[in-house]
Amino acid sequence: MSKYVILLALMALALHCDARRFTRCGLVQELRRQGFDECLMSNWVCLVENESGRFTDKIGKVNKNGSRDYGLFQIKDKGCCSTGHSWKDCHVTCLQLLTDDISVAATCAKKIYKRHKFDAWYG
């Protein structure tokens, strides 16, 4: 196991106390506050419920392609967030996607959606 994965796991445990699980209504309110398109709101809620169960600190199991998913929107470390020193598309570390302040994760999710629509997620 690489030292970055171990460090990431330890930091995620430390951040766990800052994480939260949104209620469905609370999630809708927060997505509105973050500027998500009202016409797509049901799609975003469905995505979040199926990807992370509405937990902000969720770290997914390793995917078939070796990637791992992070946070409320389950954003992949391959191409989107960084577990090391090189920046990816969203210019954030994967740890920044695990907090109860979802502004960083929301900005990244909207950027991914703009490029790939909902095809970027399985949920």
Instruction: Provide CB contacts within 8 A for 4, sequence distance 6+.
Output: 83, 84
Q: Dihedral angle at the C-alpha atoms of 111, 60, 79, 11, nearest 10 degrees?
A: 100
Q: Which residue out of 30, 51, 57, 77 is catalytically annotated?
A: 51
Residue 112 identity: I
Residue 119 annotated as catalytic? no
Whether 69 is catalytic: yes
CA distance 112 to 91: 12
Catalytic residue, candidates 69, 77, 89, 101? 69
Which residues have a catalytic role annotated? 51, 69
